[in-house]
């Protein structure tokens, strides 16, 4: 697993997205859990988000053996399916079936389990949105607050993360597969040693930012901190 600071598709702090997914799953909050799950999924971290969900299952719902068997079967269907919409709905099925169950490892598993099925139309609200003008994207899509650790972040780290978001977000977003693809498709070159992304010419720079110029440096401090998971 990468140790780099990573921005997801909507420029959330990836580490806190994983934490937020786990916490919202344990509280049985389907809409929020699905939001965090698909934030990772559509950023290109599909195996990682499935791994996190199954970690929660094995740690907190270990008495649901039949449920685990059912969800593992769904995961295998996801890995073998070529139909995108069918693949995309599997994560929602996993998340929903966790959220509707009580977290109690001492509780005996029911002899007969009922499973919730989600169809692809029900996850359309979690798919990547295209908003015009592009700079209005973040205030409209970053609808949930990250579940940050209780100890919070010290002032020097806050300043460092704000600087990364405001001045070098494209580079740190490049660690997400979705952003790496966007950069490369638009003639960008990711220079890891120098920690920057450069484009072959000004036309390509303009082309990239016309499509994906979220302009986090121009957003309100509230939006910036929401992306980073800092108060």
The pLDDT score that the predictor gives to residue 151 is 65
Site of tokens 């599997």: 90
Assigned fold of 14-126: Zinc Finger, Delta Prime; domain 3 (1.20.272)
Q: What is the pLDDT of residue 150?
A: 62
Q: What is the pLDDT of residue 54?
A: 96
Q: What is the pLDDT of residue 152?
A: 62
- State the pLDDT at residue 1: 39
The answer to whether 22 and 56 are in contact (CB under 8 A) is yes
pLDDT at 204 (0 to 100): 96
- For residue 150, give both structure tokens: 């209780």
Block means of pLDDT (10 residues each) for the chain, 231 residues, are: 80 96 96 98 96 94 90 91 81 95 76 88 94 96 88 79 96 98 97 95 96 97 93 78
In the prediction, which pLDDT does 2 show?
A: 43
182 CB neighbour count, 10 Å cutoff = 18
Q: Domain spans of the chain?
A: 14-126, 134-228
């Amino acid at each position: 697993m990468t140790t780099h600071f990573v921005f997801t598709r909507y420029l959330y702090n990836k580490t806190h997205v994983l934490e937020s997914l786990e916490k919202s799953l344990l509280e049985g909050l389907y809409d929020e859990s699905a939001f965090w799950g698909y934030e990772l999924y559509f950023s290109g971290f599909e195996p990682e988000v499935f791994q996190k969900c199954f970690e929660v299952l094995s740690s907190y719902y270990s008495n649901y053996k039949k449920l685990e068997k059912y969800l593992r079967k769904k995961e295998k269907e996801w890995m073998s399916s070529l139909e995108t919409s069918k693949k995309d709905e599997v994560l929602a099925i996993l998340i929903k079936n966790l959220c509707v169950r009580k977290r109690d490892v001492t509780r005996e598993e029911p002899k007969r389990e009922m499973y919730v099925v989600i169809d692809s139309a029900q996850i359309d609200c979690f798919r990547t949105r295209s908003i015009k003008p592009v700079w209005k994207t973040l205030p409209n899509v970053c609808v949930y607050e990250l579940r940050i650790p209780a100890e919070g972040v010290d002032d020097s780290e806050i300043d460092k993360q704000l600087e990364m978001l405001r001045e070098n977000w494209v580079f740190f977003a490049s660690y997400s597969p979705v952003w790496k693809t966007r950069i490369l498709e638009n003639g960008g070159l990711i220079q890891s040693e120098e920690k920057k992304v450069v484009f072959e010419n000004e036309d390509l720079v303009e082309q990239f930012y016309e499509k994906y110029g979220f302009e986090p440096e121009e957003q309100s401090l509230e939006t910036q901190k929401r992306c980073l998971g800092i108060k």
